[in-house]
Copies of this chain bind each other. A is one copy, B any other.
């Protein structure tokens, strides 16, 4: 299996609901450094998993919907805890949709698996991986 990964980041405010979160129930924030990985069993005729330029541009576009925002105010997330692992899934869903909508070009239609990792610090990260 081949893969290609591109990295970008976004910065948000949010808070969590539930005693398990302790002081993280207060409004705080995070920088998420995001690694988006695309996998497929064979390369395309150009020798590519995805076009790295299109993949980077689409990842940036996906993140720009959340960047510099308070996620507590986003209707999309009403009633949800926007944990690192939850957000990994949200970004996964958007990247898969982007592949299906052609935003990563024809080459990306060969991608069979996408994996998204969000680093919340030097010592903790979460991810979601699934089929396209």
Chain A residues in the interface with B (C-beta under 8 A): 1-9, 11-14, 16, 18, 20-24, 26-33, 43, 46-49, 51-53, 56, 67-70, 80-86, 88-89, 105, 107, 119-130
Q: How far is the CA of A89 from the CA of B42 in the complex (A)?
A: 10
Measured between C-beta atoms, what is the minimum distance from A92 to chain B in Å? 10
A2 contact from B31, B122, B128, Cβ within 8 A: B128
Which one of B43, B49, B121 contacts A33 once the chains associate, using CB atoms below 8 Å? B121
Interface centre among A3, A23, A105 (most CB of B within 10 A): A3
Q: How far is A43 from B83 in the complex, measured between Cα atoms in Å?
A: 10
Q: Is there an interface contact between A51 and B85, defined as CB atoms closer than 8 Å?
A: no
CB distance from A72 to the nearest CB of B (A): 9
List the B residue with the shortest CB-CB distance to A86.
Answer: B47
